[in-house]
Amino acid sequence: MVTDAAVGELEAAAFAGRFVAEFLSWDEDDPARRAEVLRPLLRDPSGATLGWSGTGRQRVETVLPGRTLRTSCGGLIVEVTARVRAFRRTGAPPDATSAAADARITHPRTAGSCCPPDSSPDWVPAEATWTRVAPPVVRIPGGELRIDLTLTARGSQR
């Protein structure tokens, strides 16, 4: 296992794309799922709740990794453009107890993703938008990749 190697561009692009797909996907009917999926992708798991108010539903349909910027610590900041589909609720919100049970039945958690299903009787697809995010990818001492939200373009931590 490589522990001190710089992050490669292709592996950083793939990891950043996965992170952006999860970071920009959420479902108010299963609000804890997003943080649960993001925690293992982050160098500091406490950032798993950033970027979402806890309401609404959206999912990433496409991720396109682009330019990269090498940091002085060997990490890479990857510019990722994502097409995001918002949803509009058409039914009444379920009560919290049945929503958690239904979520486990309709989309098993074995895949490790928080992207909600693309169809649901209580939600209809709304507009899609393109969003750009530039997550910093680093290699931690064990050799795994993580997103380091404190890393700046100069390669130092804030």
pLDDT in tens, 101-157: 454 444 444 448 999 988 889 999 999 999 999 999 999 999 999 999 998 766 555
Domain boundaries, given as residue ranges, for the chain: 9-147
**pLDDT tens string 42-52:** 999 999 999 99
**pLDDT tens string 56-85:** 999 999 999 999 999 988 899 999 999 999
Q: pTM (2 decimals)?
A: 0.84
Question: What is the model's pLDDT at position 106?
Answer: 41
Decide if pLDDT at 35 tops 80: yes
Q: Which residue has the higher pLDDT, 5 or 149?
A: 149
Q: Which two tokens stand for residue 48?
A: 């798993």
Question: What is the model's pLDDT at position 6?
Answer: 84
E strands, the chain, in order:
26-27, 57-70, 76-89, 123-133, 136-139, 145-147
The burial class, CB within 10 Å (0-12 / 13-18 / 19+), for 82 is buried
- Tell me: domain 9-147, CATH 3.30.420.40, correct? no
